Structure 1
Amino acid sequence: MATLPYVSSEGGPLLVADADALRAWSGAFDDGEDYTRACSALGSGGLASLDGRALVWDIQGGGTAYLTRSDEQSFQLVRFWANAELDDAAIQDCIRLIKPAGEASTVQITAPLAIVVWACEDTRTMAIKSCPGVPEGDWSMGGTVYCFPVKAGTYLAETGSFESADCSAVSLTCTLST
């Protein structure tokens, strides 16, 4: 398996949006109001919408979410835990066994690219020079933001999960609906 694109968090949710929706996002910087707003939007759930322009997804603590699938119509992010080192086949099996978890929301992506970013980050100075890839910016650490091409439109976002003795996973799958 090729190395998958990923976004890491030291705790707290990830955001999924287009660059325009994140132009004024200050994350946990300045007064921290944006980060607080993202965390508050989640409440006790794992998925929320910020004004229909950004998704807030709780990856259940610090860790890494991988972009396991991406095309013009849909994309999937997966955070998984394993009790031991897993080979590529075991990881693919874990991903295939993810079932809907019952939370859903929508997000409007108006640009032909999506951004996944740790909600703590300040994206106001973000510059996208190439996509897919990591936008330029003053990031707090490596691996906290990634952009990739999508078709503009409204996406239905659904959470999923899987748990076994060897592997557990949570996912966010977004599918173009209009």
Structure 2
Amino acid sequence: MNYFFSLNAEGGPLLCVDAGAAARWNGAVDDAQDYGNLCAAIDAQPEFSAMITPIAGLPGVVWEMQGAGTADVFVADDGRVAVLRAWLSQDTNEDLKELADTKPVSRRVLGVIDVPSGVLAVFWSVESGRTIPQHIDSRFRQIDGTAIKGSVFALKATTSRYTCCDELVKVRNAHARRLTMTPS
């Protein structure tokens, strides 16, 4: 797995969805109700910290980070994407990389998302997705002009469809929740 970027959030779920659908997501910006409605859907199913839900007509992954913090995003050579919320005994890149790639202790298959634009938006759901581009030349791009720096990214998709799983992983004294999106 190759480290790509760290995504910041101040609490509340992350969204992973096609950039075209993300462009119609308003989050909590300008009194929009998207974020509040999303949180209500999560609260209605408290046993799940991740789910597939429609975002502007396309399936997207809602993934609760369990508090404010940073999620690290890795991409494998085979196109697999891992979003990792880690709790480390020591802050080491080695532990993060191992957590990104190790076999899960537990796994729950969430379902499938489609990425017809070729760009996967990965962002803190409070933010608006209006400025996320539907085309990028690089492997990923941080989007500026957000409520907090590093909370919105565009990632070039390696496929138009991903199977998504919510996982728990452990390595030595470190553990993490991991959202894995595998090309399907």
Alignment TM-score > 0.5, same fold: yes
Q: Tell me whether 1:48 sits opposite 2:51 in the alignment.
A: yes
| 8 A contact 2:95–2:171 mirrored in 1 | no
From 61, 83, 97, the equivalent of 1:92 is: 97
**Alpha-carbon distance change, 3 to 151 in structure 1, aligned in 2, over 3 angstroms:** closer
TM-score, scaled relative to structure 1: 0.84
**CA deviation digits over 1:31-73, x for unaligned, max 9?**
3311022223333111112224211111111111111224564
Q: Where does the alignment leave 5 or more consecutive residues of structure 1 unmatched?
A: none
Instruction: Report the Cα offset of residue 103 of structure 1.
Output: 4.4
1:17 aligns with 2:17: yes
TM-score of the pair, normalised by structure 2: 0.81
The superposition leaves residues 95-118 of structure 1 with CA deviations (integer Å, 9 ceiling, x where unpaired) of: 325333324222111111211010
Secondary structure of the structure 1 residue equivalent to 2:140? coil
Aligned partner of residue 151 in structure 1, secondary structure: coil
Aligned length: 176
Matching residue of 1:30:
30
In structure 2, the CA distance between the partners of 1:126 and 1:149, relative to structure 1 (3 Å rule), is closer
More off after superposition, 154-163 vs 123-132: 123-132
Distance in 1 (alpha carbons) for counterparts of 2:78 and 2:40: 31
Aligned to 1:142: 149
Structure 2 alignment gaps of length 5 or more? none
User: What percentage of residue pairs aligned between the two structures are identical?
Assistant: 24
Superposition CA RMSD, Å: 2.5
- Could you tell me whether the CA contact under 8 Å between 1:102 and 1:160 is conserved in 2? yes
TM-fit CA distance, 1:75: 1.2
Cα distance, 1:30 vs. partner?
2.4
Matched, 1:117 2:117: no
